[in-house]
Chain A
Amino acid sequence: MMTQPLVSVRDLKKHFTMGGPLFAPKPVLRAVDGVDLDIRRGETLGLVGESGCGKSTLARTLIRLYEPTTGSMVFDGQDVAHLSERDLVPFRRRVQMIFQDPYASLNGRMTVRDLIAEPLEIARIGTPESRTAKVHELLARVGLHADHANRFAHEFSGGQRQRIGIARAIALEPDLVICDEPISALDVSVQAQVVNMLEDLQDQLGLTYLFITHDLSMVRHISDRIGVMYLGKIVELASNTDLYARPSHPYTQALLASIPVPDPTATRPADPVRGEIPSAMAVPSGCRFRTRCPMATELCASSEPALRDIGGGHLAACHYAGEAAP
């Protein structure tokens, strides 16, 4: 029997109602617009997509910072999509988030000790002494020193602040850690330090990661499987090897062809995709990629392709995925 996924999301939507003229229907921004996604225990699931495609909104919905508009969200057997704040308490301990901006996401007036102990205090775990001991253990895990505990976050470099954020996120020994662009604010020379550390922590603590990024080289390095998001939906999902070897959705193909490679002798295709990303307030009918898709047909304007298995667990939402070009 296949073990159940840790997270199983079906047709998840998070829509935002925007302001507009008084006597007109309120415009709706479809930030997350029908996501199907399973996250397996112990894996790193990478999530890539252009800015504004809904990655962070999906992450915030998955940790129930937002209540979904519709859809189901099963975490370890329990649907948490519409649970009340009180019933969410156990869930909140088991799912944590690491944010993009290590400058903005930590309170500069708190010491490192207090920042890392805060989740333990809120969850009423341990005594002040045992919490301090735990903080020292966590600091060691993320490669900081015990004597850093009494300093303030603003005294640290970006890479060190991100380590503090990670220590805070793993304090409650969560099952799932959602990493929302955890390295994109860091210097190139420091990014690899943080990625290696995240990989070590996963091995030591058996963590499951949802790793959101726009860095297509890093996501390949760190992920077991990768989901590609476009305008609020997952349009392709496959193992990292499969995705890069056989990208099957035209958007994924364009995305991979656009990656700048640090090799001046590499040959590069011309603009792989034309046009601009449509607004999430005016999602095209049928296939949402059709306004930029080089292979769009009439069918694509009238009928929305479902995310389907095109073989070996490789999922793609394109009418023609898995076939020769139409």
Chain B
Amino acid sequence: MTAATMGTPILSVRDLATSFFSQRGEVQAVRGVSFDVHPGEILGIVGESGSGKSITCMSVLRLLKATGRIKSGSALFDGQDLLALDEADLRDIRGNKIGMIFQDPMTSLNPTLTVGEQVIETILRHRQATRSEARARAIELFELVRIPSAAARLKSYPHEFSGGMRQRVMIAIALACDPKLLIADEPTTALDVTIQRQILGLLRDLQARLGMAVILITHDLGVIAEVTDRIVVMYGGLVMETGPVRDLFARPMHPYTRGLLASVPDLRDDSHKRLTPIPGSPPDMAHPPAGCPFTARCPHAMRQCAAALPPLFGDSHAARCWLHHAEAPRIAGINEVAA
């Protein structure tokens, strides 16, 4: 499926900017982010810690802490701007038309209620249903996310579940009202690879069966490659590169994406060959650089890079890098495609 054939996006974020204000001054967490999510696709958002992935999604859902403020932008969901809706209408969308899963299921579940009560409560909040209908639906959901002995496990408390089981409960709650969009922030980061594999398989399977759209946030390039259709690469509060997953891995257009892909060891290689890290560390978002935020670490930085923020060059596969300007020098593999 290409962007052109995908039709109207279910979520369309434009020019989103969010900052935090404290004694330290302004931390510019998100600095003008735009992307679309289409029905039935899995969009991956990848980037290092602090790059603005979570705050982008928290802003769209308007779940920011008190010190955070959305400075500009819009987020059209199903024709409505989430950033302009009043709180009551928004509450009706969160947990209902948009489901959410976060990294640590223990902090998002209420430890004093059984998991069954928590699923039933979500259903009753958004749906006209009797308690017993809600309970039947909860059992169905537990079966959907493959929790064995579903009916019995409704009576368990969160601490009686393993990490993987708790994440299944979170997915069940997120799916309780048949969302059109599921936002999953690092849903498998706290889990082990064998359990991660089960949860990713489950997500992909559910997405295909229920036809919903998914935003999957992760810092793991393997997870991105495994389950997503399209990727947004974030760095310094900005979208650095975006494109279909296969295209982006085969022909990364941005020096940061290339550096990221080159810095992970190749599983098929046991030669002890030296790794090629990206030197330096990410920028401090209390004082973001004026030009390209990757300038200090980029092997190809030019005078123009520190002077001005590059725009996104390209269409369905695009990168925010001056090397794609017509006058930039040619660099093999980036703006010079091998014949």
Asked if A pairs with B, the answer is yes
Q: Is B198 an interface position by the 8 A CB rule? A: yes
B279 with A193: CB separation less than 8 A = yes
B230 to chain A, nearest CB (A): 11
Interface size on A, residues (CB 8 A): 45
Distance, CA A195 to CA B265, complexed state (A) = 11
Given A187-B282, A217-B265, A221-B272, the answer on whether A261 and B222 have CB atoms closer than 8 Å is: yes
Q: Is A255 an interface position by the 8 A CB rule? A: yes
Mark the stretch among B24-32, B158-166, B306-314 that contacts chain A. Answer: B158-166
Distance, CA A240 to CA B282, complexed state (A) = 33
A187 with B219: CB separation less than 8 A = yes
Q: Is A159 an interface position by the 8 A CB rule? A: yes
Given A193-B277, A221-B275, the answer on whether A187 and B48 have CB atoms closer than 8 Å is: yes
Q: Mark A180-197, 1 if CB is under 8 A from B, else 0.
A: 000000011111110110
SS of A interface (majority): helix
Given A157-B281, A259-B222, the answer on whether A220 and B192 have CB atoms closer than 8 Å is: no
Q: Return chain B residues, CB-CB under 8 Å to A220.
A: 265, 267, 270
Given A262-B221, A264-B246, A271-B201, the answer on whether A276 and B277 have CB atoms closer than 8 Å is: no
Distance, CA A244 to CA B224, complexed state (A) = 23
Q: Mark B254-287, 1 if CB is under 8 A from A, else 0.
A: 0000011101111101101011111101100000
Chain B, range 195-209, C-beta contacts under 8 Å to A: 195-198, 200-201
Q: Is B249 an interface position by the 8 A CB rule? A: yes
Q: Return chain B residues, CB-CB under 8 Å to A199.
A: 272, 274
Given A187-B219, A191-B263, A218-B265, the answer on whether A266 and B276 have CB atoms closer than 8 Å is: no
Q: Is B194 an interface position by the 8 A CB rule? A: yes
Given A189-B278, A192-B275, A192-B276, the answer on whether A255 and B267 have CB atoms closer than 8 Å is: no
Q: Is A263 an interface position by the 8 A CB rule? A: yes
Given A51-B163, A193-B279, A276-B165, the answer on whether A254 and B194 have CB atoms closer than 8 Å is: yes
Q: Is B193 an interface position by the 8 A CB rule? A: yes
Given A220-B265, A264-B249, A265-B246, the answer on whether A272 and B194 have CB atoms closer than 8 Å is: yes
Q: Return chain A residues, CB-CB under 8 Å to B267.
A: 216-217, 220, 244, 259, 261
B196 with A260: CB separation less than 8 A = yes
Q: Return chain A residues, CB-CB under 8 Å to B143.
A: none
Distance, CA A45 to CA B162, complexed state (A) = 29
Q: Return chain A residues, CB-CB under 8 Å to B276.
A: 192
B252 to chain A, nearest CB (A): 11
Q: Is A17 an interface position by the 8 A CB rule? A: no
Q: Return chain A residues, CB-CB under 8 Å to B277.
A: 189-193, 196
- Residue of A with least CB distance to B161: A276
List 10 extra interface pairs beyond A260-B222, A264-B225, CB under 8 A: A51-B163, A188-B221, A192-B263, A192-B265, A193-B279, A244-B270, A260-B200, A262-B249, A265-B249, A277-B164
Give me the 4 closest cross-chain CB pairs, A-B, nearest first: A260-B222, A192-B277, A221-B265, A192-B275
